Amino acid sequence: MTQVVSNGAKGRLTMDNLVIVDLGSNSVRMAINEIRPDKTFREVGRYKEDTRLSEGMGPEKKLQDAAIKRTLAALKHFRILYQDLPNLTVKAITTAAVRQASNQADFLERVQREVGLTFDVLSGDDEAYYDYLGVMNRLRVEDALMLDIGGASLEMVNIRSGKESNLISIPFGAVNLSEQFHLDDQINPADFFDATVFLRQRLQDIWWLGEAKTKPFILLGGANRSLARMSRRQQQVLHVEQIHGYQLTTHEVFRLFSGLLRKNHEQRKQISGLEPDRADIIVGGILPLVLLLQMLDSDRVIFSESGVREGIINAYLNQDYN
């Protein structure tokens, strides 16, 4: 992991700056955090660029040139924003797309050469665990199923009595499901059926999921956040982006998903609260949630703005992440 420290010596009374660069399968995100002397922190900047790194990886799991160029451009832009901060530490993490990539080593070497960042490739279990740490730091729950649907993977954590009981990462998400089953535009019933059968078979193989039956879901990830924003727009709620702790009934999730299925790509791009560049992957991104809600007979979902980045900050402050 690259750590970048300014020339000035760190003083006890000087704020440290911790930057988390999170390279995901659909977007690259950055959070700039001020670390206080008492080891509390304050987020002072949050940035996101949609780069869709996992686009077109296909069965050979190869990162494509166009996606790599988009990602490098975003990382270079982010570097401009943080490189002159004093007392700086940068922690760069990447998840499913790079974790699965057959050309991972070439990609990471190019990022190091052109941007100066050395990425820590999180395992699926690590990603799920840091999600859990981030959620539990801000949402006090005793029993729930945490679900993070990303671009190329899905993480689940069974929370029992406030503790992580079981966790898993599965290598499918919004981008690769949408590509594999052609869920990007008008939905063909046969394609939708094939996607449903594929997902249900793989989810049924997870032995401990039965222990999460009837538990509420805690939702993370871009597709889930879009679902919350769509709901808040329809209800004309102020501060649409403030979704942390927001809840929906399972019935409302199903209603929103049904509306997505009835629209083609162009029509979905017009939905208030849904980012237009997510319109082609939103059905693939929400489908796992819908199936799990049915399988586990859960009655509601709770949205979390905290996730892997906040989990890493928490671990860093407790000296559990180097």
Say if 310 falls within a structural domain: no
pLDDT-based confidence at 11, cuts 50/70/90?
Answer: very low
Task: Decide if 164 contacts 196 (C-beta within 8 A).
Answer: no
156 and 282 assigned to the same domain: yes
144 and 292 assigned to the same domain: yes
When divided into structural domains, the chain yields a total of 2
What is the SS3 string spanning 186-249? CCCHHHHHHHHHHHHHHHHCCHHHHHHCCCCEEEECHHHHHHHHHHHHHCCCCCCCCCCCCEEE
Task: Decide if 307 contacts 224 (C-beta within 8 A).
Answer: no
160 and 283 assigned to the same domain: yes
CATH code of the domain containing 32: 3.30.420.40
Distance in angstroms (rounded) separating the CA atoms of residues 133 and 18? 18
Say if 249 falls within a structural domain: yes
CB within 8 A of 6, min separation 6: which ones? Answer: 85, 86, 87, 88
pLDDT number for residue 322: 60
Identify the sign of the CA torsion 100, 106, 73, 112: positive
235 and 100 assigned to the same domain: no
252 and 157 assigned to the same domain: yes
DSSP 274: S
Distance in angstroms (rounded) separating the CA atoms of residues 300 and 219? 10
CATH code of the domain containing 256: 3.30.420.150
* Residue 163 in tokens: 């503790």
Say if 289 falls within a structural domain: yes
pLDDT-based confidence at 189, cuts 50/70/90?
Answer: very high
Bigger pLDDT: 316 vs 199:
199
206 and 110 assigned to the same domain: no
Range of the domain at 195: 140-303
pLDDT tens digit string along 261-275?
999 999 999 999 999
What's the pTM?
Answer: 0.89
